[in-house]
Amino acid sequence: MKIAFFDAKPYDIPAFTKYGKAAGIGFKFYETKLNEDTVALAQGADGVCVFVNDTVNAMVIDRLASGGVKFVALRCAGYNNVDLDYAAGNVRVVRVPAYSPYAVAEHAMALLLTSVRRIHKAYNRTKDFNFSLSGLTGFDLHGKTVGVVGTGRIGRVFIDICRGFGMKVLAYDKFPAKDAGIDYVPLDELFGESDVISFHCPLTEETFHLVNRETVKRMKKGVILVNTSRGALIDSEALLEGIKERHIGAACLDVYEEEGDVFFRDLSGHIFDDDTLARLITMPNVLVTSHQAFLTEEALDNIAATTVENLAALRDGKPCANELTKQGQR
Q: Report, as residue numbers or ranges, the catalytic residues.
A: 230, 259, 291
- Look at residues 228, 8, 251 and name the one whose alpha carbon lies nearest to residue 106: 228
Neighbours of 312 (CB within 10 A): 18
SS3 92: strand
DSSP letter (8 states) at residue 39:
G
Q: CA dihedral in degrees (180, 181, 183, 187; nearest 10)?
A: 0
DSSP three-state, residue 21:
helix
Give yes or no for a contact between 69 and 48, defined as CB atoms under 8 angstroms apart: yes
Distant-in-sequence, close-in-space partners of 294: CB < 8 Å, separation ≥ 6: 76, 99, 100, 103, 104, 303
**CA 93/CA 79 separation, integer angstroms:** 9
